[in-house]
A and B are shown apart, each in its own frame.
Chain A
Amino acid sequence: MPTTIEMPKLSDTMTEGTLLRWIKKVGDPVEVGDVIAEVETDKATMEMEAFDEGTLAEVYVEEGQKVQVGQKLAILTGEGEEAPKPPGESKKVGADKKEKEQTAESAAAEKKPLNKDPVRSAAEPTLESPQQSAPSAGTSQTRSKASPLARKVAAELGVELQEVSGSGPGGRIVRSDVLSAAKTEQKGPDRAKAAPTSETLKTDQRISLSGMRRTIANRLLEAKTTIPHFYLQAEIDAQPLISMRQQINSAGEAADRPKITVNDFILKATALAAAHVPQANAAFAGDAIIQYADVQLACAVAIDEGLVTPVIREAQRKSLSQISSEIKDLAARARSKKLKPEEYQGGTITVSNLGGYGVEQFFAIINPPQSVIVAVGAIVAKPVVDAQGQIVAGQRIALGLSCDHRVVDGAIGAQLLAELKRLLEIPALMLI
């Protein structure tokens, strides 16, 4: 029997993936466990392994193409078997250019019915993500409407049609649009070198959503519109923390140990505080609330395409240095999109720190199905009234707590925040 290889669901939020590269080519023998292809999901780039053996008889998607979860990618055949034509695919990927376009179109056409498949969208409910349902993929892949001549000229000049706005009938891209886009590109600043923030756009741009962007959009819209958020804030005295960090780091320097950051302290404190207030280390599950035994501490990491929240497992059991080295490693791999799904899934509480950008105070949107997110501001030097009633110079950090009121009431949130404040202001407590 020929075996169909479908796009696997590589993460709980994944609805589609981009087939980056075929490692195996048509005609190659495939063993169980062989890497067949590289797939980019909304979170990371992953290797796709074979679960069957045979010969890679036919592939239905080309490199760079976005594919829905569950859509056929390829066929493995045993000896002497023929690959059947999958339904809906009128043509295989051939060397012929014209055929390629048609394949892309028929793949796009297949997307809608797949999304509506009730079996698939209900699949894989886990304890860790009781609320999660796969976000719908929306309209996805936008194909540029361009004249045949415009396509040819664009190919010749290396102009990306997605970046060209069309002036033809119905916004169609015509040759003159491609030519003027090519001109602008030549004259314009070197985009590759220019920092994304300093880049000034000559014309409005339409940037189609990446998988990650779409996930962020869907998840956070869902969070902000379905979770009854409330917010608590407190300012902590960061002086003891700064002093302790200096001690640890100067001692560590001598021993050539990596430095501990303020954020590492905050992560450690959050882990302990969440363990101390288990009602906040919890999730709303529709007809129940799940309190987690362990603190799976997620930490928001900004990357080029958006952000990802890698998870430090059982963080309440880990030492400051363990947490420090783990988050360094996770953040680095998040930036190179090398995280495995299990490394960013299943968090129970999240820390988001914008202190590095000079933000003094903010509140974050809860990352469902979690109930709490801690927003950390910058260390700010400011006048404070000390215990003696004197105005003195202080080093302060503002903490913002966003809570899901379905799970966490004000008092619980306040307890969590108070514990966090206590631990950070008397950091020695974290050693106990």
Chain B
Amino acid sequence: MAEGPSVPNYCFMKYDLIVLGGGPAGYVGAIRAAQLGKKVACVEKERAGGTCLNWGCIPTKSLLRNAELFQLMQKRSADFGFRFDKLTYDWPKIISRSRSVADKLAGGVEFLFKKNKIDYLRGEAAIPTAGKVTYKDRNGKEETVEGDHILIATGAVAREMPGLPVNGRTVVNSHDAMIIDPQPKKLIVIGAGAIGVEFAYFFNAFGTEVTLVEMLPNVLPVEDTEISMALEKSLSKQGIKIFTNSKVAAAKAEKGQVRINLEGKQAQELQADCALIAIGVSAIVPTGVPITLDKKGFISVDDRYQTNVPGIFAAGDVIGPPWLAHVASWEAIQTVEGIFTKGFRPQRVKEFPGCTYCQPQVASIGLTERVAKEQGLKFKVGKFPFSANGKALAAGEPEGFIKILIAEPHGEVLGAHIVGPEATELIAELGLAMKLEATYEEIEATIHAHPTLSETVHEAVGAAFGEAIHI
């Protein structure tokens, strides 16, 4: 015979796992599955790294670094004995630095795919039926791949505000705000969660007149109230106008202008050349087989992160809050281990650190005092100010404090809350303490290097028992 029969479709190779989305949930889940010896494909619509690397955590940290350096040089150079006669900044360069950091990391993820022999498929994915994923490449050609398991890690996008649609110029979301040029003169930030607060801080540092609007009573409403209040005070001092307990009653974008009417404690009419909508995110649910969603539109999953459709799993932002890259990655690993590792019991996220990178920084893990009280728990509170910490004073960062909740009677850490310098780095120790169920005795018995900011952890625990040395 000159020619054999053509290869029928059902002979096409089947993947063990097809991951939809290449963000912190998707790429981490794909790599872990590959590490477990599985054949994996990852389908990504834009660029590997997801929101986090491309349009979230990483590029904003670059912008914020610019902001804190500029703020330091501009406002406090005299304290440090520096003098700048004519300090200026290059806005396009600030943005391009942020983009180049993102580019570099996204390239790193693509390298990791190659290293782990993961098929990286570009295009927008859909799930016509369990076991099948289609994706359209750039030329509009549709391809189909098959896999035993599908992990939806498509993430989320900024939620739209009813009545004030994003137009990319006068009304922007966080994605737009990251590359906005020229710099707005007056900005209204709607929503004082981590994203809203970070952008408010960033633009304010470069001289934009910023108004921050929050519906709830405090900025960073999920944080401990005391921390939120301290931050609010600090941000106000830096020049940000803050309206809490305030709801947008009416909004209009016209002729390069935004007008917003607030109702709440007092009615306000705000006007600016730009409004940033930072009121949360909504899930990106792939089309095709119907997946059950919760009331807020996020994918509902069971204990093993499986959706209503057997063989289809979901992890990360797409299954709901907390919308954090580190939680998304952790969930993806739980999911993948749950699928492929015999006897592995996936867990749902319980304690996770939350970080906000304005200055002063905010970081926390575990229960706030408010929630601990609501739950009727017995606990002691230990607090220590950075103003009594040698390293903080030497660095010129005496603002803020650390607050630790110690449960009674056994002395485990219920929660830890920091507002101040390097708060986001300091929280790691307390995360470990909570994961290991350390009690105050272990933390007290641990020698903390001097002089470091971490001494405040030690002192705060001591303070809960009246044993802090330096206050």
Contact = CB atoms under 8 A, between A and B. Distances in A.
B73 interface: no
B435 A153 contact: no
A292 to B, nearest CB: 54
A401 B191 CA distance: 88
Interface residues of A, number: 14
Nearest to A176: B437
A169 B334 CA distance: 13
B435 A149 contact: no
A226 B295 CA distance: 70
| Residue from A148, A152, A167, A175 whose CB has the most chain B CB atoms within 10 Å | A148
Contact of B438 (A98, A148, A156, A167): A148
| Residue from B410, B437, B438 whose CB has the most chain A CB atoms within 10 Å | B437
Interface in A149-199: 149-150, 152-153, 156, 167-169, 172, 174-175
Main DSSP-derived SS at the A contact region: helix
A325 interface: no
Contacts of B437: 147-150, 168, 174-175
Interface string B440-458: 0110010000000000000
Contact of B436 (A98, A147, A156): A147
A107 B437 CA distance: 26
Contact of B435 (A152, A167, A169): A169
A130 B410 CA distance: 56
B413 to A, nearest CB: 9
Interface in B415-449: 435-439, 441-442, 445
Contacts of A148: 412, 436-439, 441-442
Interface in A88-140: 98
Contact of A152 (B345, B410, B436, B445): B410
A168 B345 CA distance: 11
B124 to A, nearest CB: 38
| Residue from B410, B411, B435, B439 whose CB has the most chain A CB atoms within 10 Å | B410
Contacts of A167: 345
A174 B347 CA distance: 14
Nearest to B441: A148
Nearest to B410: A152
B198 to A, nearest CB: 32
A174 B445 CA distance: 20
A226 to B, nearest CB: 37
A86 B437 CA distance: 34
Contacts, number: 30
Contact of A153 (B410, B436, B442, B445): B410
Interface in B294-353: 345
Contacts of A175: 412, 437
A98 B439 CA distance: 14
B404 to A, nearest CB: 15
Interface in B33-63: none
A70 B169 CA distance: 83
A156 B411 CA distance: 13
B438 A147 contact: yes
Contacts of B442: 148
Interface string A240-253: 00000000000000
Contacts of A174: 437
A224 B436 CA distance: 45
A152 B435 CA distance: 16
Contacts of B441: 148
A325 to B, nearest CB: 56
Nearest to B433: A148
A314 to B, nearest CB: 57
| Residue from B436, B438, B439 whose CB has the most chain A CB atoms within 10 Å | B436
B414 to A, nearest CB: 11
B80 to A, nearest CB: 43
Contacts of B410: 149, 152-153, 156
Nearest to B345: A167
A257 B225 CA distance: 87
Contacts of B439: 148-149, 152
Nearest to B435: A169
Contacts of B445: 98
B435 to A, nearest CB: 7
Nearest to A174: B437
A173 to B, nearest CB: 9
Nearest to A149: B437
Contact of B412 (A149, A156, A169, A172): A149
Contacts of A168: 437
A420 to B, nearest CB: 53
A172 B437 CA distance: 10
A285 to B, nearest CB: 49
Nearest to B438: A148
A172 B435 CA distance: 11
A25 to B, nearest CB: 29
A152 B407 CA distance: 13
Contacts of A169: 435
A315 to B, nearest CB: 54
A148 B412 CA distance: 9
A149 B439 CA distance: 6
A279 B442 CA distance: 66
Nearest to B413: A149
Interface string B125-146: 0000000000000000000000
A399 B439 CA distance: 63
| Residue from A147, A149, A169, A175 whose CB has the most chain B CB atoms within 10 Å | A149
A208 to B, nearest CB: 22
A378 B278 CA distance: 85
Nearest to A172: B436
Interface in A224-273: none
A149 B407 CA distance: 11
A147 B412 CA distance: 10
A150 to B, nearest CB: 6
Interface string B392-417: 00000000000000000011100000
B409 to A, nearest CB: 8
A421 to B, nearest CB: 54
Contacts of B345: 167
Interface in B363-417: 410-412
Contacts of A153: 410
A156 B441 CA distance: 17
Contacts of A147: 436-438
Contacts of A156: 410
Nearest to B443: A148
Contacts of B412: 148-149, 175
Nearest to A175: B437
Nearest to B440: A148
8 contacts: A98-B445, A147-B438, A148-B436, A148-B437, A148-B441, A148-B442, A149-B439, A169-B435
Given A148-B437, A148-B439, A148-B441, 9 more contacts: A147-B436, A147-B437, A148-B436, A149-B412, A149-B437, A149-B439, A152-B410, A152-B439, A172-B436
Q: 4 shortest A-B CB distances, which residue pairs?
A: A147-B437, A149-B437, A149-B412, A152-B410
Interface of B: 345, 410-412, 435-439, 441-442, 445
